[in-house]
Structure 1
Amino acid sequence: MEAVAYSNFRKNFRGYMKQVNEDANPVIVTTKEIDDTVVVMSKRDYDSLQETLRTLSNPYLMEKIRRGDKQLSEKSFKHHELVEVSDD
């Protein structure tokens, strides 16, 4: 993760916006006041992070994931053919 001073970030704001969207690497924007430091990330990455947090905080969903992981590791799952659905 790259760190950049606020003054440099401000001068090249558009370039940093493009960078975080293309590289998916957040940028830390620093200031003299440590409490004012921020992280800039793409909206796509932010949305993904939020969805991950929602999934991890959902006990019902996490239990289903753990059960599926266990079935996969124990090879105790059933193989099913995909069902073709027509547009009719």
Structure 2
Amino acid sequence: MEAVAYSNFRKGLKDYFKQVNDNSEPLIVTNKNPEDNVVVMSKADYDAIMETLTVNANDYLMQKIARGEKQFKAGEFKQHDLIEDDDIND
């Protein structure tokens, strides 16, 4: 993860935003006081992290995931063909 000083971040704000979004790589913005440092990330990456945290905090979903993993490892699954858009409209 790259780090940049606040003053440089401010000067190149547009470029840093583009970099963060294009590379899907968070950026640490440092300040004189380390407690004031921040991390800049794309909205899509933030949303993905929040969704993962939500799923991990949901016991019911985690039990379903664990059950699915157990079934898969035991070979207890069915393989299905993907439905194509043409199949839906017929």
Q: Judging by fraction of residues, say which structure has more helix.
A: 2
Aligned residue for 2:29? 29
Supply the distance in 2 between the matched residues of 1:83 and 1:35 (Cα, whole angstroms): 51
Structure 2 distance, partners of 1:41, 1:81, is: 37
Q: TM-score, normalised by structure 2?
A: 0.88
Is 1:13 the counterpart of 2:5 in the alignment?
A: no
What is the aligned length?
A: 88
Q: Distance in 2 between matches of 1:83 and 1:33?
A: 55
1:14-55 Cα distance to aligned partner (Å, 9 max, x none): 000000100000000000101100000000000011000000
Aligned alpha-carbon RMSD (Å): 1.7
- Compute the TM-score of the two structures, normalised by the length of structure 1: 0.90
Percent identity of the aligned residues? 57
Q: Which moved more, 1:68-77 or 1:34-43?
A: 68-77
Q: Which amino acid aligns with 1:21?
A: N
Structure 2 counterpart of 1:43, one-letter code: K
Which residue pairs with 1:52 in the alignment? 52
Q: What amino acid maps onto 1:11 in structure 2?
A: K
1:7 aligns to what SS in structure 2? helix
Using the alignment, how far apart are the partners of 1:21 and 1:34 within structure 2?
Answer: 24
Residues 52-72 of structure 1 deviation map (CA, whole Å, 9 limit, x = unaligned): 000000000000001101111
What is the distance in 2 between the residues matched to 1:81 and 1:13?
47
Consecutive unaligned residues of structure 2, counting only runs of 5 or more, are none
